[in-house]
């Protein structure tokens, strides 16, 4: 049975518990969402819907402190980062409110033969299910709900079981913004109920941010029921250091890429690949910075268990760990750097979700690219070089959905987010984020 509860991330102590939805609750939620789609989503203008989304942005701004408090309580995010997450979420809603009319306007098609006109008219498709993760409780919702509510789709939102308070708070924001009943419904659903929701003929698609395992399970159900999916899954993003005029600045960027959200971000830098002429200096300075982070709190003891198992497996397979002082305590784990991780080790191909980095030496650019691409994932990547031609050349060869050259923490509401390979399908944010669950209806006039 899925338990929706707030637990102290460090100790596991129960703080607050919520009732999991009954089957009757789920049936009612789908009924309400379908009614809102028919009576509101299909009958209102883009401008009317965008005005409500703009109010959601304003309420996020007005209630930043309250929502940030809940995020910190639920998953242990550093408070400054929680505040930043809520502020970025507000910016996402505002971006779609500002641009929805332009993004969704009719598009003329030039006819090759015949008289008359043809155009693409963009319409909503109906009720959507969102399945969201614990590591960014507000931001992930904004990426999904903002564009789709502007479009006229209605939302059933199943959040991570450890984020029930923030998910209820966000639902209240949509209500207070003026959305009609059923336009956005928070549901404390079990995994089995989520599968039933996907199978319901009124539900037209599902968006999942989470693990490979969760994405595969949802995609299997969606495929059987011919439903569109957007999957934003794991990542083991490479961070290539190929050249630099300022090693200290490069290391500072690498630390930011690895330690943001205490390393619990799908698009964090996780595998640091450094050419041999820069390797020793980089490793010395990078390791010092990682160790200075000390013991970092993860979201739960279970998350800490998983990370420590991966580290121990890598060590057993010949890797070397340099870690901060102190032992693991509850969900707090020592930050560290792994070198010498073998391709024969399972850990080489896995995502490390926490403040531990893998560092690899590459003899040249070609080997660095080969190492970067030797992964089942393909979400983001980072390339640091002082050679503009090399930057273009390498960026073109990285197998990933996103490449950031000589900068980190550069996500933007206007920039599409998503990956390839086992990192998922589809895109969120930017123009492409509003195009995933849309009916591009062709209208031909004689």
Q: Looking at the annotation, which residues are catalytic?
A: 232, 266
Task: Report the C-alpha gap between 419 and 117 in whole angstroms.
Answer: 37
N-to-C CA span, the chain: 57
Q: Which residue has the tokens 């083991």?
A: 236
**Residue 30 CA: distances (Å) to CA of 214, 250, 275, 298:** 22, 50, 54, 35
Q: Which residue has the tokens 């850990």?
A: 347
Element (H, E) at 259: helix 247-259
186 contacts 170 by C-beta, under 8 angstroms: yes
- d(Cα 258, Cα 371) in Å, to the nearest integer? 18
Rounded to 10 degrees, the C-alpha dihedral 312/314/316/318 comes to -140
- In 3D space, the residue among 281, 262, 128 whose CA is nearest the CA of residue 208 turns out to be 128
**In 3-state terms, what secondary structure has residue 9?**
coil
- Please enumerate in sequence order all residues whose Cβ is within 8 A of that of 23, keeping only pairs 6 or more positions apart, or say none: 193
For residue 139, give the nearest of 178, 176, 90 by alpha carbon. 90
Report, in angstroms and rounded to the nearest whole number, the Rg of the chain calculated over CA atoms. Answer: 23
Pairing of strands 203-209, 228-232: parallel
The answer to whether 330 touches 10, Cβ cutoff 8 Å, is yes
Cβ neighbours of residue 99 closer than 8 Å, sequence gap 6 or more: 431
**Where are the extended beta strands (E) located within 125-166?**
127-131, 154-158
Cβ-Cβ contacts under 8 Å for 81 (sequence gap 6 or more): 260, 261
- Give the whole-angstrom CA distance, residue 404 versus residue 380: 8
Determine the Cα–Cα distance for residues 204 and 185; give it in Å rounded to an integer. 16
DSSP string, 318-386: T-EEEE-SS--BTTEEE-EEEE---TTSGGGGS---SSEEEEEEESSHHHHHHHHH-SS--S--EEE-S
């Amino acid at each position: 049975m899925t338990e929706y509860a707030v637990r102290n991330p460090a100790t596991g102590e129960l703080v607050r518990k919520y009732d999991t939805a009954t089957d009757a609750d789920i049936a009612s939620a789908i009924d309400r969402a379908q009614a809102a789609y028919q009576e509101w989503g299909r009958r209102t203008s883009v401008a009317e819907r965008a005005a409500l989304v703009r109010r959601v942005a304003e309420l996020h701004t007005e209630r930043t402190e309250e929502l940030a408090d809940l995020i910190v309580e639920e998953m242990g995010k550093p408070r400054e980062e929680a505040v930043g997450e809520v502020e970025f979420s507000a910016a996402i809603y505002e971006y779609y409110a500002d641009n929805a009319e332009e993004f969704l306007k009719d598009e003329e098609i030039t006819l090759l033969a015949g008289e008359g006109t043809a155009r693409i008219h963009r319409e909503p498709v109906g009720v959507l299910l969102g399945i969201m993760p614990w590591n960014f409780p507000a931001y992930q919702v904004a990426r999904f709900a903002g564009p789709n509510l502007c479009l006229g789709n209605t939302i059933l939102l199943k959040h991570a079981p450890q984020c029930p308070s923030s998910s209820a708070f966000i639902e209240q924001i949509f209500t207070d913004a003026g959305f009609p009943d059923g336009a956005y419904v928070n549901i404390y659903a079990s995994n089995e109920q989520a599968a039933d929701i996907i199978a319901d003929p009124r539900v037209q698609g599902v968006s999942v941010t989470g693990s490979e395992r969760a994405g595969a399970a949802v995609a299997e159900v969606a495929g059987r029921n011919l439903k569109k999916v957007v999957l934003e899954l794991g990542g083991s993003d490479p961070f290539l250091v190929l050249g630099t005029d300022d090693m200290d600045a490069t290391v500072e960027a690498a630390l930011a890429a690895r330690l943001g959200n205490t390393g619990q971000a799908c698009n964090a830098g996780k595998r640091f690949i450094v050419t041999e002429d820069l390797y020793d200096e980089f490793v010395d300075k990078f390791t010092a910075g990682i160790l200075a982070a000390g013991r970092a709190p993860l979201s739960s003891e279970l998350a800490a268990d998983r990370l420590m198992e991966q580290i121990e497996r890598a060590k057993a397979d010949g890797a070397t760990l340099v870690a901060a002082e102190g032992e693991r305590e509850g969900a707090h784990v020592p930050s560290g750097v792994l070198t010498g991780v073998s391709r024969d080790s399972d850990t080489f191909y896995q995502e490390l979700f926490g403040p531990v980095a893998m560092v690899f030496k590459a003899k040249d650019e070609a080997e660095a690219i080969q190492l970067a691409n030797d992964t089942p994932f393909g979400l983001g990547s980072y390339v640091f070089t002082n050679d503009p031609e090399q930057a273009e050349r390498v960026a073109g060869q990285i197998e990933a959905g996103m490449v950031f050259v000589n900068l980190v923490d550069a996500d933007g509401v206007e920039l599409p987010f998503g990956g390839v390979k086992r990192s998922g399908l589809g895109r969120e944010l930017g123009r492409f984020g509003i195009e995933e669950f849309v009916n591009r209806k062709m209208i031909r006039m004689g």
